[in-house]
Amino acid sequence: MYDSAPIGRSHRKIESQDASGSVCVLCSPWLGSCATQRPVAHGDSRLRSGMPAHTLLQALSDTFTPQQIATDASTLQILAQDALHPGRMPGWAVARPLCVVRPLHTAEVATVVRLANAHGIPVIPVGGGSGLMGGAASVVEGVVLDLRGLQDIRMRRADRMADVGAGVTIQALNQAAAPHGLMCGHDPWTVAIATVGGTIGTNSLGYLGGKYGAMGDQVLGLEAVLPTGDILQTRGVEKSSTGPGLHRLFIGAEGCFGIVTRATLRLFPLPQTRLLQAWEFADFAAGFTAIQTLLQSGIRPGLLEYSDAHPAADVSPPATLIVSFEGPQRVAQAEAEEASSLCTTHQGRLLPLQQAEEFWAQRHDSGNAYAASRAAGQGWHRYLRRHPLDYLHVALPPSQVLEYRRRSLEILAQYRLQALQTGLWDHAGLFNIAFAGADATTFTAVQMVLLQLCQDMHGAMEYCHGVGVRLASLMAREHGTGLDLLRRLKHCMDPQGILNPGKLALDAHT
């Protein structure tokens, strides 16, 4: 079954059959073509730096307790990989870490990084492991830093802020903030395991991003361990004009410039009211026009979820919009009434409230299923699909969305791939498309064609999950001379390239 949350976050469910013809019920769309996760590749007893592995382990053991260091195969297997399923990147496999270290505070992170830098040993920071692009996967042998032990939370109610450790999950942050009448503005699909550090590293987007912004928009300041082991602290204030905001250097950088260990986050009042609506439009274009009109009116829904099912170049199925309006009762009510008027004007049909309520209640189900599987040491559910399945999340100027959608559906038809869904999330220019079919080689080639088409139309190839290893090959095309600048920054800050190597195409050879 195609569960909507990770690709279009749609209320619709699109069924896909496995090789036996039965419906794969537990397999969610982020799985790509379901397959057994590849085992980690084994390294030898000597690191790339030439340092014997046992020497490094002894040095770590002198500082950390036995409970903070893991070398067992099961732990290494799970923490060497994130949620990038091998079916979405054929031929790729993770490397076996030397060990996993579980620091409990920033000073311990700095100790590991300082030791690694002295000997040229790679360090891979890991949070909840819910990233979909391999941003937290081990591509070379090194030390995995499991940051989930960084659990400090200091609420600052008068400032509407919190100082939060990188290992704190968004769910735990919300639980700590709620008694103060506050909440985090970021609501990812994997809220139960997505960590503050990980979501900053990818600048991820959540269900409430239309109103509150992406995770990076929540960050006012941070603490980070640099590749030298030095600790950087930026000021957690609403605004400064004292040179470039250094905290922004680490937002979306996937741990390549430094390891975020704590962040000062802005918080928002818990909404007095949240009003949900569901609307159906005759086709994608009709609903898109209504959404454009709604956003141009100045209204910012909390949730904006728009999708169709099984579109094609010559087929325009109905599309469904789910929106929420939240805040003070009178404000939310006024926005909901204006939205109703606009949707009706654009020939929208109001659907039963239950449909919107069910989507809202179930929005984290897919992430919770993955979290349970990972906690059990199983990684992905072990199902097989007859055909690959994947999804893209691209950012476009809103004026280009309908044309991109049209051309994408034509390309899929040309290669006999099945479009499962197209949609929008949070904003009119954040477009999703899910598709399936064909052999892995053709499938991967078409993915690249669609991403390059987005770039040619002045868009960005990903708006939610980061780059990691999966999209690294398109970074030069995405950034042009900007990639050279990013590589210069990387080399300046991390001349030995120890922090999260292989990600974002920041290594000169990638």
Give dist(CA 510, CA 502) in Å, integer: 7
Q: Is the distance from CB of 378 to CB of 31 less than 8 angstroms? A: no
Give dist(CA 196, CA 164) in Å, integer: 8
Q: Rounded to the nearest 5°, which phi and psi values hold at 154?
A: -120, 110
Both structure tokens of 86: 């091998």
pLDDT at 380: 54
pTM recorded for the entire structure:
0.90
Strand segments (E) across 388-484 = 389-395, 418-425, 427-436
Give dist(CA 431, CA 391) in Å, integer: 11
For the chain, 510 residues long, give each residue's pLDDT as a single digit of tens: 233 333 334 434 443 333 333 333 223 322 233 333 444 444 445 556 666 677 888 899 999 999 999 999 999 999 999 998 777 787 788 999 999 999 999 999 999 999 999 999 999 999 999 999 999 999 999 999 999 999 999 999 999 999 999 999 999 999 999 999 999 999 999 999 999 999 999 999 999 999 999 999 999 999 999 999 999 999 999 999 999 999 999 999 999 999 999 999 999 999 999 999 999 999 999 999 999 999 999 999 999 999 999 999 999 999 999 999 999 999 999 999 999 999 999 999 999 999 999 999 999 998 898 888 888 877 654 433 455 788 999 999 999 999 999 999 999 999 999 999 999 999 999 999 999 987 777 888 999 999 999 999 999 999 999 999 999 999 999 999 999 999 999 999 999 999 999 999 998 655
What secondary structure letter does DSSP report for 306? E
pLDDT at 86: 74
Q: Is the distance from CB of 2 to CB of 434 less than 8 angstroms? A: yes
Q: Is the distance from CB of 265 to CB of 218 less than 8 angstroms? A: yes
pLDDT at 414: 95
pLDDT at 371: 87
Cβ–Cβ contacts within 10 Å for residue 344, how many?
A: 13
User: 284-296 vs 329-345: helix axis angle to the nearest 10?
Assistant: 140
Q: Is the distance from CB of 166 to CB of 196 less than 8 angstroms? A: yes
Give dist(CA 239, CA 400) in Å, integer: 33
Q: Is the distance from CB of 103 to CB of 149 less than 8 angstroms? A: yes
The strand pairing partners of 349, in sequence order, are 280
pLDDT at 389: 82
Count how many residues are written for the chain. 510
264 in helix, strand or coil? strand
- Cβ contacts of 73 within 8 Å, gap of 6 or more: none
Give dist(CA 475, CA 254) in Å, integer: 14
* Domains delineated in the chain: 155-269 (3.30.465.10), 273-351 (3.30.70.3450), 389-470 (3.30.70.2740)
Rounded to the nearest angstrom, the gap between the alpha carbon of residue 56 and the centroid of all alpha carbons in its chain is 32
Residue-by-residue DSSP string for 140-155: SS-EEEEGGG---EEE
pLDDT at 48: 60
Give dist(CA 423, CA 402) in Å, integer: 11
Handedness of CA 263, 269, 270, 275 (dihedral sign): negative
Handedness of CA 267, 371, 94, 165 (dihedral sign): positive
In the numeric block, the tokens 């079916």 are attached to 87
Q: Is the distance from CB of 428 to CB of 288 less than 8 angstroms? A: yes
72 in helix, strand or coil? coil
Give dist(CA 392, CA 403) in Å, integer: 16
H/E run at residue 308: strand 304-308
